[in-house]
Amino acid sequence: MNKVKIFSVPVRVYFQDTDAGGVVYHANYLNFMERARTEWLRTYGHSNAGLMKEFGMVFVMRSVKLDYLKPALLDDALDVTAQIKDIGRSRVTLLQTVRRGDELLTEAEVHLVCVSLESFKPVSVPEILRKQWKN
């Protein structure tokens, strides 16, 4: 695979993202990463709704390994990244980070599985996505 592109999307921390102390609630990092994956997919001309309609499939999260290194705080301007680590027959592994400037706050390895909308059983990643992601 060629040098992997790193996609980044800006995210602002709102009051709703934090606990009473102004620290981002741990589960909200997953929401930030979901937004980044959704926007990353759009850069290839696809949306989740479009994949459902065109290919009858959807990506579901199989597992995530998430390391919290430093807290994000109320009003922080963050950059949330997504990049492909590996593509299998029906699996896609992404590396994702949350940064505040140069400071790494959170990093994750996300395993997605391509499944049929009809059966929710694994199906092959559409060839068009495979080709786009390898370039």
CATH fold for the domain made of 7-134: Thiol Ester Dehydrase; Chain A (3.10.129)
Rounded Cα distance, 69 and 4, in Å: 24
Structural domain spans, the chain: 7-134
Angle between helices 48-55 and 28-42 (to 10 degrees): 60
SS3 of the chain: helix, strand, coil, percent, to 5: 25, 45, 30
The model carries a pTM of 0.92
Contact criterion met (CB below 8 Å) for 135 and 74: no
CA angle 81, 75, 98 (to 5 degrees): 20
Catalytic residues: 19
pLDDT tens for the chain, 135 residues: list them: 445 689 999 999 999 999 999 999 999 999 999 999 999 999 999 999 999 999 999 999 999 999 999 999 999 999 999 999 999 999 999 999 999 999 999 999 999 999 999 999 999 999 999 999 987
Listed residue (57, 71, 32, 21) closest to 130, CA to CA? 57
